[in-house]
Structures are given as structure tokens and as C-alpha cells.
Amino acid sequence: MLEEPLGKWISILYRYSMIYSNDFLKNSGMSSGQLPFFMNIIKHPGITQDELSKLINIDKSTTARAIKNLYKNGFITKEIDKKDKRTHRLYPTRKALEVKEVILKKARKWDSILLKGFSKDEKNFIRKSLETMVNNTLEHLNVKEKGNEK
């Protein structure tokens, strides 16, 4: 029996995660695509746009669009860096900090839906396995970018 490719299941989980997130965000002025940026700005106040792109492994143009929307909707502020006037530091606003807990609560709820029926050890294994898969992907793509694909 031929096993389904992992990509199929990852794609399905991603699509339904976006649907779930967009549903609870629909009246907030934020979309699911902006969540990784939002959460990392809260976690790392003062981060630059370039640092944010590298941290979450997303291209600079996508980051710029997400930052523009988060700024426009009052979730972040930008401050010019004291050392490099061309660089802006990103900070969460009071509005962002107020909705952070609601968003985290919804994210934990989604985790509980996804992990329903798994033991604590299995949940830890799944988290560690997904992290390893991401690291394997990044390692492969970094090797591929350098022209040394194995």
C-alpha cells in the first residue's frame, strides 16, 4: 500500500489552521497570515523588519506587506533606530497587547483540537518531530541555495 506524502497532510493542516485563525480574527483587522509577525513583534519588541524576516524564515516583501497592515490597523508602531536612521524598530501597541491573550487562548484551543487523544509523551514527540522537520527543511534549502544539493 502506497503511503500518502507528508506534504498532503501538512497542506491540509495548514489550510484548516488558516481557516480557524481567520474565523476568530475576522473582526480584528488582522488576518492569519499576519499572526507570525504579530506574535514575534510582541515576543521581541524592538525587532527590525530584516530580523523578523530571518526569524520566521519569510521573504522580505511578505514581511513588508504584513508590517504595513499591522501598522495601518494599529497593532504596531515603528521607531527609527538610534544608530541606523534607515532602520525602523517595531513595537507592539497597547491594542496589540490587549488582544495578545485572546489570540494565545485561541491558539492553545487549536492545539488542543489537533492533539486530542494523544498522551503527553506523544504530544512532546509530535512537537519535537515537527521542529526537526522544519530544521531539516531549512538545512536542505540552505544547502540547495548554495548549489551543493545532495
Question: What is the pLDDT at residue 145?
Answer: 61
Question: What is the pLDDT at residue 118?
Answer: 98
pTM of structure: 0.82
3-state secondary structure the chain: CCCCCHHHHHHHHHHHHHHHHHHHHCCCCCCHHHHHHHHHHHHCCCEEHHHHHHHHCCCHHHHHHHHHHHHHCCCEEEEECCCCCCCEEEEECHHHHHHHHHHHHHHHHHHHHHCCCCCHHHHHHHHHHHHHHHHHHHHHHHHHHCCCCC
6-114 CATH fold: Arc Repressor Mutant, subunit A (1.10.10)
Mean per-residue pLDDT pooled into runs of 10, the chain (150 residues): 87 95 90 95 96 92 96 96 90 95 93 97 97 92 63
Question: What is the pLDDT at residue 85?
Answer: 86
Question: What is the pLDDT at residue 9?
Answer: 94
